[in-house]
Chain A
Amino acid sequence: MRLTVSRAVPSQKVLIRRRRRQWSDALTIFLFLLPSLVLFVLFVLVPVVQAAHYSLYKWSGLGPLDDYIGFKNYQTLFNQPIFLKALENNLLIAGLSLVFQLPAAIVLALLVNRKMPGRSFFRLVFFLPYVLSEVVTGLIWSFIYNPLYGLIAGVMRQFDPHATPPAFLADPKTVLYAIFIAMCWKYFGFHLILYLAGLQNIPAELVEAARVDGASSWQAIRYVTLPLLGSTIRLSAFLSILGSLQYFDLIWVMSGGGPPGTNASETMATYQLHYGLNEFKLGYGSAVGVVMFGICLIFALFYQRVIMRQDLQGSSAL
């Protein structure tokens, strides 16, 4: 009897301590979350909302925001051949990455994953370009492609002193592919690292069991390793497509969206900057940003709901 009473009514002391703990917890939660939330809201969320707001105005970025034009910026945008070309280029980069970059990364990951001499050296080298800055990468590859002083030009003149080496970055037909090769050089190591991490999660016994049962090493890869690597492949494709849709840096450094006078290598991101800042059409540039965001969001939701559904079960992501 006494026991139940003491359980039902905690002593005054315990109550005070518990309440104090609750208060101090609330204070901790508030003070610990405040700085990061302020930064995140101010510099990440607010600009996204502002982009939607600005995109409804004709605005140079200076002076008052008062020339409301509704959805006219979006109308112009989708009737603008250069923007459509930029969107097409983004999709082309994404497609090329899926067809060339990711399979190459998978093959190399399978090779580096075996026991062989120099294995950690290869891994170190393959991943090295990823840590270099985009500017450094862009300048190195601009040098390689340079028709006078460049590496490719040098090789060509070695065979034929009178050769006129092509200017890959100045030709609208080749510029995007030339930049894509530089992108592969820089980013394949990142995907390789993802695949290596994925391969490490596959128990070696499974592959060994298949080999014991008479599977060739190709069959073991095709029917055991690759299916088990599925979630990593889907993730790497997701990151690659999302990155391609927003791509900016190497293009800006190597061609500026040109060659000059054309928009042969324009992407949505370079287009946005050309019009938003260089030409003082901030409302219009913001509309480009909103469309880019919309495309990425729709893609991400679709991909996560449909293609990565089984991978995300039990995780808290979105």
Chain B
Amino acid sequence: MRVSLRRQWVSLPAFAICAVVATIVLIPLIATVIGGLRSTGELLTSPFSIPKTLHWENFGRILAADSPFWTEIYNSLLIVLGTVGLLLVTACPAAFVLARISFPGREFVFNLFLFGLLFPLTVAVLPLYITIRELGLLDTLWGVILPQVAFALPMTILILRNFFRAVPIELEDAATIDGASRLTFFLRVLLPLSRPAIAVVSMLATVSSWNNFLLPLLILNQPSEYTLPIGATQFAGQYSTDWASVLAFVTLAMIPAILIYLLAERQIVAGLTAGAVKG
């Protein structure tokens, strides 16, 4: 009794600190959402009053049928789907081979992929730009999708390979005795068993593709191809004096990411820690 009481007292300062930090984290987000409902004049004159009228027209203008916002959402979505799809189609077989078939040079190939973890996009982005230009993929969504997949491969293969290796060998033996080829085992047994790991790598790739800025900034130069992050910077540049509208745009741009996060927090967290701890 006394112990539990004391424990509660000890956790009170801890709770207070966490509450303060949580407030600090949330204030910018709340200020953004509320700011989007004010007029820019109010931001200047009465930023903390309870708004008398909510300026939904800030949102209405962005969500109008002919607004570039929808094109940008659509492009971002296509790039996410293309990236995740192609990533799974290429990484799953590779991770399978690297996890379960021994052959000379296996460690070399695996370490080659691991080497890729060391340099993200930034260091080779100029030559990458030239490569994409030479392939004729400049100003196409594929010009973003293919490099995104390539740079996501190391982490994805690492996570999937670890998971595939943990599937007991007896299961493969049993499948072989029943006459299954490696391909059948891979498609019918291993992949269905690996749904949790596949969900993890898919969510990781979804978040990083949805948020990617540098690559679309270089590759996509036509407004009809802009993704949401590029569209947001364009909008902010165009309406640089109308902060209420910019905040409305930012609010709308946050919503999909927050939804993905609330739906798949577990997978995202698992992917980040699994990849980091084992890498």
A residues lining the B interface (CB < 8 Å): 24-26, 28-29, 31-33, 35-37, 39-40, 42-48, 50-51, 54, 61, 107-108, 111-112, 114-118, 121-122, 124-129, 131-136, 139-144, 146, 148-149, 151, 154, 157-158, 185, 190, 193-194, 197-198, 217, 232, 235, 239, 242, 246, 248-249, 252-253, 269, 272-273, 276-277, 282, 285-286, 289-290, 292-293, 296-297, 300, 315-318
Q: Which residue of B lies closest to A195 (CB)?
A: B273
A139 with B131: CB separation less than 8 A? no
Top 10 closest pairs, chain A to chain B, by CB: A154-B47, A43-B150, A32-B93, A133-B211, A50-B127, A47-B124, A135-B229, A47-B127, A197-B273, A36-B94
Of the candidates B94, B112, B269, B278, the one whose C-beta lies within 8 Å of that of A127 is B269
On whether the beta carbons of A128 and B146 are closer than 8 Å, the reply is no
Q: Quick one: which of B21, B96, B98 has the most chain A CB within 10 A?
A: B21
Q: Say whether B181 contacts A296, CB under 8 Å.
A: no
The answer to whether A24 and B25 have CB atoms under 8 Å apart is: no
- How far in angstroms is the closest Cβ of chain A from B177? 13
Report the minimum CB–CB distance from A131 to chain B (whole Å).
4
Interface residues of B in 168-217 (CB under 8 A from A): 181-183, 207, 210-211, 213-214, 217
* Distance between Cα atoms of A198 and B273 in the complex (Å): 9
New A-B pairs, 20, CB < 8 Å, besides A128-B25, A290-B123: A26-B103, A39-B149, A44-B153, A47-B131, A51-B123, A54-B126, A116-B18, A118-B15, A134-B229, A135-B229, A140-B28, A146-B243, A246-B120, A246-B122, A269-B122, A273-B125, A277-B129, A289-B124, A316-B107, A317-B278
CB contacts (< 8 Å) of A28 on chain B: these are: 97, 101, 182-183
List residues of B (230-250) whose CB comes within 8 Å of A's CBs. 230, 232-233, 236, 243, 246-247, 250
**Contact check: which of A29, A45, A140, A315 meets B29 at CB < 8 Å?**
A140
A33, A131, A154, A198 pick with most chain B CB within 10 angstroms:
A131
Q: Which residues on A sit within 8 Å (CB–CB) of B265?
A: 124, 127
CA distance in complex: A117, B11 (Å): 9
CB distance from B36 to the nearest CB of A (A): 10
Q: CB-CB < 8 A to B89: which residues of A?
A: 35
Contact check, A248 vs B107: say whether CB atoms are below 8 A apart.
no
B152 to chain A, nearest CB (A): 10
Within 8 Å of chain A (Cβ to Cβ): is B17?
A: yes
- Given A128-B25, A131-B207, A235-B277; A316-B93 close (CB under 8 Å): no
Decide if B28 touches A185 in the complex (CB within 8 Å): yes
Given contacts A48-B123, A317-B114, contact A39 B272 (CB under 8 A): no
Give chain A nearest CB distance to B11 CB in angstroms.
5
Residues of B near A136 (CB, < 8 A) are 229, 232, 250, 253-254, 257
Are B97 and A44 in contact (CB-based, < 8 A)? no
Are the C-beta atoms of B11 and A318 separated by less than 8 Å? Answer: no
Which residue of chain B is the closest to A235 with respect to CB atoms? B276
Q: Is the CB of A131 within 8 A of B32?
A: no
A296 to B121, CA, bound (A): 13
A317 to B260, CA, bound (A): 31
Q: Contact string, B145-160, partner A, CB cutoff 8 A, digits 1/0?
A: 0110111011001000
Q: Nearest-CB distance from B170 to chain A (Å)?
A: 19
Residues of B near A272 (CB, < 8 A) are: 122, 125-126
Contact A47 B128 (CB under 8 A): yes
The interface residues of chain A lying within 8 Å CB-to-CB of B250 are 136, 139-140, 143
List the B side residues contacting A289 at CB < 8 Å. Answer: 122-127
Q: Which of B20-57 contact A (CB under 8 A)?
A: 21-22, 24-29, 31-32, 35, 40, 43-44, 47-48
CB-defined contacts of A46 to chain B, threshold 8 Å: 127, 131
Tell me whether B130 and A50 are in contact (CB under 8 A).
Answer: yes
19 A-B residue pairs with CB within 8 Å: A36-B113, A39-B90, A39-B146, A47-B125, A50-B124, A54-B126, A118-B15, A131-B260, A133-B228, A134-B213, A135-B229, A136-B257, A139-B246, A143-B243, A154-B43, A185-B24, A248-B214, A273-B126, A289-B126
Query: Contact between A44 and B150 (Cβ–Cβ < 8 Å)?
Result: yes
Q: Is the beta-carbon distance between B18 and A111 smaller than 8 angstroms?
A: yes
Bound together, the chains give a CA A290 to CA B153 distance in angstroms of: 22
- Contact partner of A135 (CB less than 8 A), chosen from B93, B233, B247, is B233
Quick check: is B59 within 8 A (CB to CB) of the other chain? Answer: no
A133 nearest in chain B by CB position: B211
In the bound complex, residues from chain A placing their C-beta under 8 Å from that of B96 are 32
CA distance A126 to B223 in the complex (A): 35
B278→A194 contact, CB < 8 A: no
**Within the assembled complex, what's the spacing in Å between the Cα atoms of A39 and B22?**
41
